[in-house]
């Protein structure tokens, strides 16, 4: 199950966040800061799947934008990785030049 969806720029600013289970506002900011730090600090040669606390992070970079999805341990990482790509393709078709 997807726990959250984040769109973050290279400077670490959250551009979009969507949570699919209740998380308090102050915990969200701490969670986002840690997740962003973990994903942005990784090199392009490293895997796009990261174990973090009690869930997994699946992220993908498109130019200056990182899309990060938090999932539980039972979810398929490759399916979520493909979901991110399909989401970006839909945005590109709808808005053009995403």
Q: What is the pLDDT of residues 13-25, one digit of tens each?
A: 999 999 999 999 9
How do the domains of the chain map onto residue ranges? 2-95
Residue 35, C-beta contacts closer than 8 angstroms, at least 6 positions apart:
6, 52, 57, 68, 70
Q: Is the pTM of this model over 0.95?
A: no
Q: CA 1 to CA 72: how far, in whole Å?
A: 6
Q: Just give the CATH number of 2-95.
A: 3.30.450.60
Nearest to 49 by CA among 73, 84, 77, 76: 77
pLDDT one-digit tens code per residue, 17-72: 999 999 999 999 999 999 999 998 988 889 999 999 889 999 999 988 999 999 99
């Amino acid at each position: 199950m997807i726990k959250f969806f984040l769109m973050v720029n290279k400077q670490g600013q959250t551009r979009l966040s969507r949570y699919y289970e209740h998380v308090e506002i102050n915990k969200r900011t701490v969670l986002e800061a840690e997740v962003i730090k973990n994903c942005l600090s990784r090199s392009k040669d490293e895997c796009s799947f990261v174990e973090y606390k009690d869930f997994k992070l699946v992220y993908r970079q498109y130019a200056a934008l990182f899309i990060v999805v938090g999932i539980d341990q039972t979810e398929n990482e490759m399916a979520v990785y493909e979901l991110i790509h399909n989401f970006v393709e839909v945005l590109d078709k709808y808005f053009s030049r995403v």
